[in-house]
Amino acid sequence: MYDVLIVGAGPAGSTLARMIGEKYRVLLVDKRFNPANRSIRSKCCGGLLAPDAQHILGTLGLALPRDILVGPQIFKVRAIDLQSGLDKYYQRFYINLDRDKFDHWLISLLPQSVETKFGKHLVRIEPGNPIRVHLHGDNRSETLECRVLVGADGAASAVRRQLFTSAATPRSYLAIQEWFPTTEIMPYFSAIFEPAITDFYSWIIPKENYLIMGAALPPGKSARHRYSRLKQALNNYGFNLEDSIKQESALVLRPTGPGQIITGRNQVLLIGEAAGWISPSSAEGLSYAFTSALFAYQSLNEGLVAPAERYQKIARSLSRNISNKLIKSSLMYCAPSRRAIMASGLFTMRVENTL
Ligand SMILES: Cc1cc2nc3c(=O)[nH]c(=O)nc-3n(C[C@H](O)[C@H](O)[C@H](O)COP(=O)(O)OP(=O)(O)OC[C@H]3O[C@@H](n4cnc5c(N)ncnc54)[C@H](O)[C@@H]3O)c2cc1C
């Protein structure tokens, strides 16, 4: 029997496994990694490490190896309100990453004592003491037992879906991203607001020899049509988004109230996006993945009995952070207040020689 079984080896799950792996018998399960050739199915992500995420990595005692970085490193955001034509720059420091390499690197930090089952997915959970977890992969099913189960399985969390059926869920969006080859050096990340396309936002991120264009769209039949309309509008605006080499998509959550964050119950914890930890204003989720993993570690480090209650208490500061982001979000995504703030020039940055 495992002391702690973690489902999901993204930033949240691999970080928690690294921290508790020497104290307890830990199993880390993930469907995305292929153990045969050590490859990984890409996580659709912008791969920008925002200041909060940089801060928590420092707290965790980590520094990034050079080969994870991709150019350019970014010092400003270009905010574009397509309908009004308002177009402003704001100072913000991002580390630009190769997300696949980043996830691999986090896994490479696991202590030897952590057992892994990659290429396996969680099928079913039988609550109880112990908790029984049914996995499937490689044409084989198996059942394992654990004292504590951690759902670190991202936006579409099966742990959350199966064990917290009556919980309020964050609003979900379909994020679509395309990769366009470019020779242009774009020294900023663009955040695009177009309420006729989505009530969330869209982005263009330079990534070495590519521009990634993405949008978080209301899910449903119209999503791909909305995406095409946006691409057309951005081409008309002056971006060069032609002949993409790859399109990818993923679910992304957007909490609309703090009650939608579910940290767990009794012997089950949820961390990272599975819990709903993600910024409702920017969809930045990496800092929350690391911080919630740290808080879950602090709870588990005290013992394995009822860790969810301790984790919930420790994570109150993170809930307050989400509440603050909800206020920011209500200002950013209300067209009149956004335009008033942009037009005022408050916090904007003068750019002399835009490439
Ligand atoms: C398009 C897009 C762009 C984004 N850009 C940024 C950005 O630039 N910066 C930022 O900070 N955040 C960004 N985010 C958010 C960020 O990617 C997530 O919040 C972050 O990855 C959450 O980490 P996590 O470990 O909780 O979950 P994930 O990274 O989603 O990892 C979950 C893991 O669980 C595994 N899993 C899922 N279900 C099962 C199962 N049933 N059985 C076994 N394994 C399972 C998956 O394979 C995966 O490896 C973006 C999100 C999207 C969709």
What does each of the 355 residues of the chain score in pLDDT, given as a tens digit?
A: 999 999 999 999 999 999 999 999 999 999 997 766 666 778 999 999 999 999 999 999 999 999 999 999 999 999 999 999 999 999 999 999 999 999 999 999 999 999 999 999 999 999 999 999 999 998 999 999 999 999 999 999 999 999 999 999 999 999 999 999 999 889 999 999 999 999 999 999 999 999 999 999 999 999 999 999 999 999 999 999 999 999 999 999 999 998 999 999 999 999 999 999 999 999 999 999 999 999 999 999 999 999 999 999 999 999 999 999 999 999 999 999 999 999 999 999 988 865 5
- Residue 7 Cβ inside 6 Å of ligand 1? The answer reads yes
pLDDT tens profile 230-281: 999 999 999 999 999 999 999 999 999 989 999 999 999 999 999 999 999 9
Residue 19 and residue 301: Cα distance in Å, rounded? 9
| Side chain identity at residue 194, one-letter code | E
pLDDT of residue 350: 86
Residue from 96, 134, 150, 252 to probe ligand 1 pocket by mutation (most atoms less than 8 Å from CB): 252
> Ligand 1: distance of its center to the CA of 154 in Å?
5
Q: Is residue 355 part of a domain?
A: no
| SS3 state at 51 | helix
Is 101 in contact with 68 (CB distance < 8 Å)?
Answer: yes
Q: Is residue 351 part of a domain?
A: no
Residue 246 and residue 243: Cα distance in Å, rounded? 9
Q: Is residue 185 part of a domain?
A: yes
- Residue 68 Cβ inside 6 Å of ligand 1? The answer reads no
Residue 79 and residue 87: Cα distance in Å, rounded? 6
Q: Is residue 73 part of a domain?
A: yes
Q: Is residue 353 part of a domain?
A: no
pLDDT of residue 38: 63
- Residue 53 Cβ inside 6 Å of ligand 1? The answer reads yes
Closest ligand 1 atom to Cα of 275 = 26
pLDDT of residue 302: 97
Structural domain including 88 reads 2-344
Q: Is residue 163 part of a domain?
A: yes
* 123, two tokens: 């099928």
* Among 267, 265, 264, CA closest to 277: 264
State the Cα angle at 15 between 13 and 19, rounded to 5°.
115
Q: Is residue 292 part of a domain?
A: yes
Number of domains in the chain: 1
Q: Is residue 276 part of a domain?
A: yes
| SS3 state at 115 | strand
pLDDT of residue 17: 98
Please report the sign of the dihedral spanned by the C-alpha atoms of residue 98, residue 100, residue 106, residue 112: negative
- Residue 81 Cβ inside 6 Å of ligand 1? The answer reads no
Please report the sign of the dihedral spanned by the C-alpha atoms of residue 114, residue 120, residue 122, residue 125: negative
CATH code, 282: 3.50.50.60
Residue from 43, 57, 135 to probe ligand 1 pocket by mutation (most atoms less than 8 Å from CB): 43
pTM above 0.85, yes or no: yes
